[in-house]
A and B are shown apart, each in its own frame.
Chain A
């Protein structure tokens, strides 16, 4: 319960920061999240003419007061979704974010269930091999005699 409260608190603290970033994106932030269409890296890693062109447009749009979403939408309209370094957290792009999480949680559940069933099976097993009572009595007698010597 405490953990859940902490997670909710963290989300509440992060949300205004994310909204502020959307309203007033920085050049560096967008350059790290937008791909250079001819070099296979993000804009901040490239100084190619194509990258410089997009950097210039981003700077112009920031100066014009566009939000991060508006700038991203503009870039996607020109270059397609591949211009974004990470898929967007909406529509089909959401799959890219949720499938790994669901996969990891699913694998953890399967492993946990397997381990639980395995440990239950171990508990049900007899503790040891039980000897025939006559043989056990004889073994005790033999041990007692050996100890006396």
Chain B
């Protein structure tokens, strides 16, 4: 009896150690995911990580994977507390007038109050749809803070670039819209 109890205790201890090791390995592998922004800097063109988030206007959800193959996408990560986001989103709104029939403009309101975000869109005249990423998990996959971050996704689903300087906007728009 004592022997079987001891064996069970040893098996339990071993299972615990193996479990903790597995957790450590998972964590290390998980952390090695460098994000879209870093991949672009390394000269790669990764497939856009998919997400399925609620629309800010309350009209259902948007699944990024479902847009793949339809039209290229401009993805704008923003928040109502982010001052530089105002200018960038307004520039995208202007570009939408020219490219809106060929390119999908989609905002991702991140780490933000949805009520404030809706108010912010109305105040600044931003009409392209946005989804709400309150936890910032989607933003983390794309590169994390700081925002604004604007990515250009080709029709194939590959991310072709991130806006770094002002000139990038028209250059990438022409590239993905062609």
Which residues does A use to contact B, with CB under 8 Å?
37-38, 48-50, 52-54, 57, 77-80, 82
Query: Hey, which chain B residues are within 8 Å of A48, CB to CB?
Result: 81
Interface residues in B79-135 by Cβ distance below 8 A to A read 79-83, 111-114, 116, 134-135
Do the beta carbons of B135 and A50 come within 8 Å of each other?
A: no
Extra inter-chain contacts (10) besides given A50-B81, A53-B80, CB under 8 Å: A48-B81, A49-B82, A50-B79, A52-B81, A53-B113, A78-B113, A79-B134, A79-B136, A80-B135, A80-B137
Q: How far is the CA of A48 from the CA of B136 in the complex (A)?
A: 16
Interface residues in B55-91 by Cβ distance below 8 A to A read 79-83
Query: Hey, which chain B residues are within 8 Å of A57, CB to CB?
Result: 113
Do the beta carbons of B135 and A53 come within 8 Å of each other?
A: no
Closest A residue, CB atoms, query B147 = A38
Do the beta carbons of A49 and B83 come within 8 Å of each other?
A: yes
* Size class of the B contact interface (CB-based, 8 Å): 10 to 19
Q: How far is the CA of A78 from the CA of B113 in the complex (A)?
A: 6
Tell me whether A50 and B83 are in contact in the complex, defined as CB-CB below 8 angstroms, given that A37-B136, A79-B135 are known contacts: no
Closest B residue, CB atoms, query A49 = B81
Q: Is B145 an interface residue (CB 8 A)?
A: yes
Do the beta carbons of B111 and A37 come within 8 Å of each other?
A: yes
Cβ distance A104 to chain B, nearest Cβ, rounded Å: 16
Query: Hey, which chain B residues are within 8 Å of A53, CB to CB?
Result: 80-81, 112-113, 116
Q: How far is the CA of A50 from the CA of B117 in the complex (A)?
A: 12
Query: Hey, which chain A residues are within 8 Å of B135, CB to CB?
Result: 79-80, 82
Can you list 27 contacts pairing A with B, beta carbon distance less than 8 Å? Answer: A37-B111, A37-B136, A38-B111, A38-B145, A48-B81, A49-B81, A49-B82, A50-B79, A50-B81, A50-B111, A50-B112, A52-B81, A53-B80, A53-B81, A53-B112, A54-B113, A57-B113, A78-B112, A78-B113, A78-B134, A79-B111, A79-B135, A79-B136, A80-B134, A80-B135, A80-B137, A82-B135
Query: Hey, which chain A residues are within 8 Å of B83, CB to CB?
Result: 49
Query: Hey, which chain B residues are within 8 Å of A50, CB to CB?
Result: 79, 81, 111-112
Closest A residue, CB atoms, query B136 = A37
Query: Hey, which chain A residues are within 8 Å of B111, CB to CB?
Result: 37-38, 50, 79
Cβ distance B54 to chain A, nearest Cβ, rounded Å: 11
Q: How far is the CA of A54 from the CA of B115 in the complex (A)?
A: 12
Query: Hey, which chain B residues are within 8 Å of A82, CB to CB?
Result: 135
Q: How far is the CA of A55 from the CA of B113 in the complex (A)?
A: 12
Cβ distance A53 to chain B, nearest Cβ, rounded Å: 5
Q: How far is the CA of A53 from the CA of B80 in the complex (A)?
A: 9
Q: How far is the CA of A126 from the CA of B165 in the complex (A)?
A: 86
Q: Mark B124-161, 1 if CB is under 8 A from A, else 0.
A: 00000000001111000000010000000000000000
Cβ distance A32 to chain B, nearest Cβ, rounded Å: 20
Query: Hey, which chain A residues are within 8 Å of B137, CB to CB?
Result: 80
Max count, chain B CB within 10 A of own CB: residue among A48, A57, A78:
A78
Q: How far is the CA of A137 from the CA of B136 in the complex (A)?
A: 88
